[in-house]
Amino acid sequence: MMNELYIDLGDIFASLPEYPVFKEGIRRAPKREFTLTKDETELALKNALRYVPQEWHNVLAPEFLNELLTLGRIYGYRFRPTGELMGHPIDEYEGKTIEGKAFQVMIDNNLDFEIALYPYELVTYGETGRVLQNWMQYHLVKEYLKRMNDTQTLVLLSGHPLGLFASKKDAPRVILTNGLMIGQFNDANNWNRAAALGVASYGQMTAGGWMYIGPQGIVHGTYSTLLNAGRSKLGIKEDKNLNGKLFVSSGLGGMSGAQGKAAIISGAASIIAEVDYSRIETRYSQGWVTTIAKNEKDAFEQAHKAMEDNEPIAIAYHGNIVSLLEYAVKENIYIDLLSDQTSCHAVYEGGYCPVGISFEERTQLLSSDKETFIKLVNEGLVRHYKAIKEITNKGTYFFDYGNSFMKAIYDAGVTEICANGRDDLDGFIWPSYVEDIMGPLLFDYGYGPFRWVCLSRSDEDLRKTDQAAMDAIDKNRRFQDLDNYNWIKDAEKNKLVVGTKARILYQDAYGRLKIALKFNEMVRNKDVGPIMLGRDHHDTGGTDSPFRETANIKDGSNVMSEMATHVALGNASRGMSLVALHNGGGVGISKAINGG
Ligand SMILES: NC(=O)c1ccc[n+]([C@@H]2O[C@H](COP(=O)([O-])OP(=O)(O)OC[C@H]3O[C@@H](n4cnc5c(N)ncnc54)[C@H](O)[C@@H]3O)[C@@H](O)[C@H]2O)c1
């Protein structure tokens, strides 16, 4: 027992590993805010060194200090495994339990070069959403998952493994929290301090919950959002798609990268602005964007041609969304659906690139002159707001896509964006996509997202599970069922998989039960290998987020975070294999609690 609770890296490495060579062309995280005093810097070093044997401290202390001073965080690069990481077939992992092996698959999948936003910094998506804080934790957690038996539970605090605790066979195998802070300190400055000290990690939703399945995870939701926005705001009939309609947004990153693909599946012409050319290249090489526009004029011309031909298209525009929208205003171009998916939950940490500077200049400015950077972000947000205001005045439907965009505009000083014209207590003038679209048309009926992973990494297993799910859906019950049926029918053709062979699907409780029982039968009969089912944090009830999931909730409980907390507690008491509770999620620290 003691042996299981106390492990350090000396138990894993006989000697200190070589310092790694970083692969060229892999995106690297910008410098994070660093404001620690000398004493706090020492504490941060001690916190990182606690994972490694004393005899290595002389070598590692200066190395960790250098990481802290130059990058704002200690990542422990030396301990990153050499080469590329990926979620291998489950049989290739060691462990006493299937859950312990499955979680190792998912941790590695979240850190795959093909998937992760900043793989060397353990960031999976959303600018700051991390699997764990550092590479020392990576090895320790994997070691615990190998040693864990089926009457033990691994407990983690913001990536820091507390150890294995005696539990029961039907208890969770892992319980983890990310970034939960005491209310008094629950703000961006204290958060940055705690993260630099090494005691807080930003889990986003599925990054720190180890259930990220690539941007596919959000394609289904984005497809449903666009289609239903078309139905409820543009008068599109239930059996029709978005052919001939124009959708404009920004971001081709981790989650936002789903927008072009989802627009194509829903039949729309779309233009997505992205400042970072490497992300455009990634989505283009995956076939998730159809073409790259030369400039604003070319982008709109290509979109209009596709609309005339009733053809779907996903056009990447390399540049700032504000420039694209200001061009549309100047040229009086009509847009049907408009949104934004820049990382406004981390707006001053690099998530939002100010108009007027390039992506490279943004990275430089972020580390050299944070004050000027913040000023430019605020100016950009104000221009962004004005452009949207002009566009919506002509009838365009704008929705906030759950990235804290309107809150960022408010924080930049625009009180006009508040519903009450004064403060953010009553929400904002434009709706959140949950409040206006997903809530009334899906969540209110009990439809929410869940996902499964074929742990064998076999295409054939995924095909069989797709078929089983399709067979379980009664497509004639409601239009939502038909959408879900069509989604799964075309899922393979739409080439949605990046990384592990996984699938996302919206279903209600009855649909899920049917599918789960069928999967159980298939696994029992050895028709397929092991399947891992995951609840999505975005599922009905999983998130308290006053500008998104719980926006404008009728009884004023938008200021409470008890529903999401109960989801996590309930999951734990019912024996879900992994239970996670996070602060921040998709909208930023202190602005949401999500459990799943
Ligand atoms: N609606 C949802 O269900 C949902 C789900 C997941 C994430 N989110 C939120 O959406 C946001 C995006 O998530 P992500 O994982 O794609 O983050 P990301 O950081 O990987 O991608 C955001 C992209 O926006 C680009 N960008 C930033 N400023 C820009 C600008 N002014 N013009 C054009 N491009 C710009 C960045 O270069 C980046 O590629 C986050 O705030 C996230 O929390 C929403």
Q: Which tens digit of pLDDT belongs to each residue from 370-392?
A: 999 999 999 999 999 999 999 99
- Say what the alpha-carbon torsion angle 295, 298, 302, 305 is, to the nearest 10 degrees: 160
Q: Which stretches of the chain score pLDDT less than 70?
A: 1-3, 537
Atom of ligand 1 nearest to the CA of 345: 41
pLDDT reported for residue 540: 75
Question: d(Cα 584, Cα 432) in Å, to the nearest integer?
Answer: 17
Query: Residue 248, SS3?
Result: strand
Task: Please report where in the chains the tokens 């605090």 appear, as a residue.
Answer: 157
Phi, psi of 476 (to 5 degrees): -95, 0
CA of 190 to the centre of ligand 1 (A): 23
| 421 alpha carbon – ligand 1 mean position (Å) | 27
Q: Contact at 8 Å (CB) between 165 and 569? A: no
Contact 596, 542 (CB under 8 A): yes
Residue 375: per-residue pLDDT: 98
* Bridge pairing between strands 291-293 and 501-507: unpaired
3-class SS of residue 448: strand
Alpha helix stretches (DSSP H) within 198-276: 216-234, 258-265
Closest C-alpha residue for ligand 1 atom 17? 126
Closest C-alpha to ligand 1, atom 11: 343
Cα(25) to centroid(ligand 1), Å: 20
401 with 433: CB under 8 angstroms?
A: yes
* Total number of residues shown for the chain: 596
The alpha carbon of 402 and the centre of ligand 1 are apart by a number of angstroms equal to: 10
Tokens standing for 186? 């629950």
What is the residue with the minimal CA distance to atom 43 of ligand 1?
586
Find where tokens 């004493």 sit.
39
Dihedral pair phi/psi, residue 270, rounded to 5° = -140, 150
Ligand 1 atom nearest the C-alpha of 320 is 32
Q: Which residue has the tokens 């705001």?
A: 233
**What was the pLDDT predicted at 216?**
87
- CB count in 10 Å sphere of residue 70: 11
The CA 574 to ligand 1 mean position distance, Å, reads 34
Distance from Cα 431 to the centre of ligand 1, integer Å:
18
Indicate which atom in ligand 1 lies nearest the CA of residue 352: 28
Across the beta sheet with 337-338, the strand order is 291-293, 313-318, 269-274, 246-250, 337-338, 397-398
For ligand 1, residues with CB inside 6 Å are 117, 125-127, 218, 221, 250-256, 273-276, 279, 320-321, 341-345, 351-353, 401-403, 538, 586
Q: What 3-state class would DSSP assign to 223?
A: helix
Comparing CA positions, the residue from 69, 229, 48 lying closest to residue 140 is: 48
Q: How far is CA 583 from the centre of its chain?
A: 13
For residue 344, which atom of ligand 1 is closest to its CA? 41
Q: Collapsing DSSP states into helix, strand and coil, what is residue 401?
A: coil
Q: How far is the CA of 345 from the centre of ligand 1 (A)?
A: 9
Q: How far is the CA of 92 from the centre of ligand 1 (A)?
A: 34
Identity at 326, one-letter amino acid code: E
Residue nearest to atom 32 of ligand 1 (CA): 320
* pLDDT value at residue 255: 87
Residue 2, pLDDT score = 61
**Burial of residue 336, with CB atoms counted within 10 A of its CB: 0-12 exposed, 13-18 middle, 19 or more buried:** buried
Nearest to 127 by CA among 345, 407, 357: 345
Integer CA distances (angstroms), 307 to 244, 268, 296, 330, 458, in order: 4, 8, 17, 21, 38
User: Across-strand partners of 161?
Assistant: 156
How many Å apart are CA 291 and CA 303, to the nearest integer?
Answer: 10
Q: What is the pLDDT of residue 339?
A: 97
Question: From ligand 1's centre to the CA of 384, what distance in Å?
Answer: 15
- Ligand 1, atom 36: closest residue by C-alpha: 251
Residues 6+ apart with CB under 8 A from 389: none
Pocket test for ligand 1, best of 121, 256, 279, 363 (most atoms within 8 A of CB): 256
Q: Whose CA is nearest to atom 29 of ligand 1?
A: 353
Around Cβ 65, how many Cβ atoms within 10 Å?
16
| Beta carbons of 246 and 334 less than 8 angstroms apart | yes
Q: Where do the DSSP E strands lie in 129-217?
A: 129-130, 152-157, 160-166, 174-178
Q: Tell me which residue has its CA closest to atom 21 in ligand 1.
A: 253
pLDDT at 86: 97
Sheet of 152-157, strand order:
160-166, 152-157, 174-178, 578-583, 593-595, 543-544
Ligand 1: which atom is nearest the Cα of residue 585? 43
Nearest CA to ligand 1 atom 3: 402
Q: Supply the mean pLDDT for the chain.
A: 95
- Give the tokens for residue 150: 């089926």
Strand pairing of 246-250 and 269-274?
parallel
How far is the centre of ligand 1, averaged over its atoms, from the C-alpha of 253 (Å)?
A: 6
Residue with CA closest to ligand 1 atom 31:
353
Confidence at residue 432, expressed as pLDDT on a 0 to 100 scale: 87
In angstroms, the CA 125 to CA 205 distance is 9
State the distance from the centre of ligand 1 to the C-alpha of 416, rounded, in angstroms.
Answer: 24
Which atom of ligand 1 lies at the shortest distance from residue 403's CA? 41
Please choose from 125, 205, 255, 543 the residue to mutate so as to test ligand 1's pocket, defined by most ligand atoms within 8 A of CB. Answer: 255
Q: What global pTM score does this model have?
A: 0.89
Q: What is the CA radius of gyration of the chain?
A: 23
Vertex 443 angle, CA 439 and 445, to 5°: 115
